[in-house]
């Protein structure tokens, strides 16, 4: 194991422990604040298609934002985890059209659009555990979103990349590897921080 991987593992453990200690009653307030700030983002206001995800457990809540985007007429794509950890996609049709899947995930029940469907998104909401001042994101380590970002790069797609986090998860430095991609912005319950100019949705 390289020094970067060891550092990532330790940082992930610390951040996950902090999430586990969050009081359950704070989660709804966090989700509402994230939706409010997220809807103000030019990257989302100008988007016709947004690739997102359904938060689970103590992740910063995405469901209020997903529903608000859908009410605006935005086409929201949600991931479907494939056996090899890659992601397929399907359109979000509302909370009643989600089904329990492996690893505690909730996935859309509609027709699968294929892994390449994400390349049509104007903005991509990425899950994560931390982001630093350069916009480098720390994920959970499964590699699913590394594949998504590599697929976008191969296709020449340049959507706005946005991470939803708690305020304490914006850190001084995230250990990076050659395949890591910086994001455009992070949304926390306290507001928005941008790292580089937005993609075409701005």
Which carries the bigger pLDDT value, residue 126 or residue 181? 126
Q: Give helix then strand counts, H and E, for the chain.
A: 5, 12
Structural domain contains residue 200: no
Which carries the bigger pLDDT value, residue 116 or residue 141? 116
CATH number, domain of 46, equals 3.40.50.10420
* Six token digits for residue 61: 């809540």
Q: What is the pLDDT of residues 159-188, one digit of tens each?
A: 999 999 999 999 999 988 877 789 999 999
Of the candidates 161, 157, 159, the residue with the CA atom closest to the CA atom of residue 201? 159
Structural domain contains residue 199: no
Structural domain contains residue 159: yes
pTM metric for this prediction:
0.90
How many domains does the structure of the chain reveal?
A: 1
Structural domain contains residue 32: yes
Domain span at residue 170 reads 3-194
Structural domain contains residue 202: no
- Give the chain's largest Cα–Cα span: 46
Counting residues of the chain whose pLDDT is more than 90, the rounded percentage is: 75
- Half-sphere exposure (CA, 13 Å, Cβ side) for 141? 12
């Amino acid at each position: 194991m390289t020094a970067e991987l060891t550092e990532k593992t330790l940082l992930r453990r610390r951040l996950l422990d902090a999430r586990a200690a969050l009081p359950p009653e704070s989660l709804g307030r966090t989700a509402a604040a994230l939706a409010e700030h997220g809807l103000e983002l030019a990257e989302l206001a100008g988007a016709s298609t947004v690739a997102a995800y359904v938060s689970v457990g103590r992740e910063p809540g995405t469901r209020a934002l997903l529903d608000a985007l859908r009410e605006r007429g935005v086409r929201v794509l949600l991931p479907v985890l494939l056996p090899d950890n890659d992601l397929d996609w399907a359109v979000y049709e509302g909370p009643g059209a989600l089904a329990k899947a492996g690893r505690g995930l909730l996935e859309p029940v509609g027709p699968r659009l294929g892994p390449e469907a994400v390349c049509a998104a104007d903005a991509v909401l990425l899950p994560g555990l931390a982001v630093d001042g350069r916009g480098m994101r720390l994920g959970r380590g499964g590699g699913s979103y590394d594949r998504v970002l590599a697929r976008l790069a191969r296709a020449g797609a340049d959507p706005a990349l946005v991470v939803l986090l708690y305020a304490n998860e914006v850190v001084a430095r995230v250990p990076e590897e050659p395949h890591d991609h910086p994001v455009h912005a992070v949304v926390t319950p306290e507001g928005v921080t941008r790292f580089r100019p937005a993609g075409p949705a701005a």
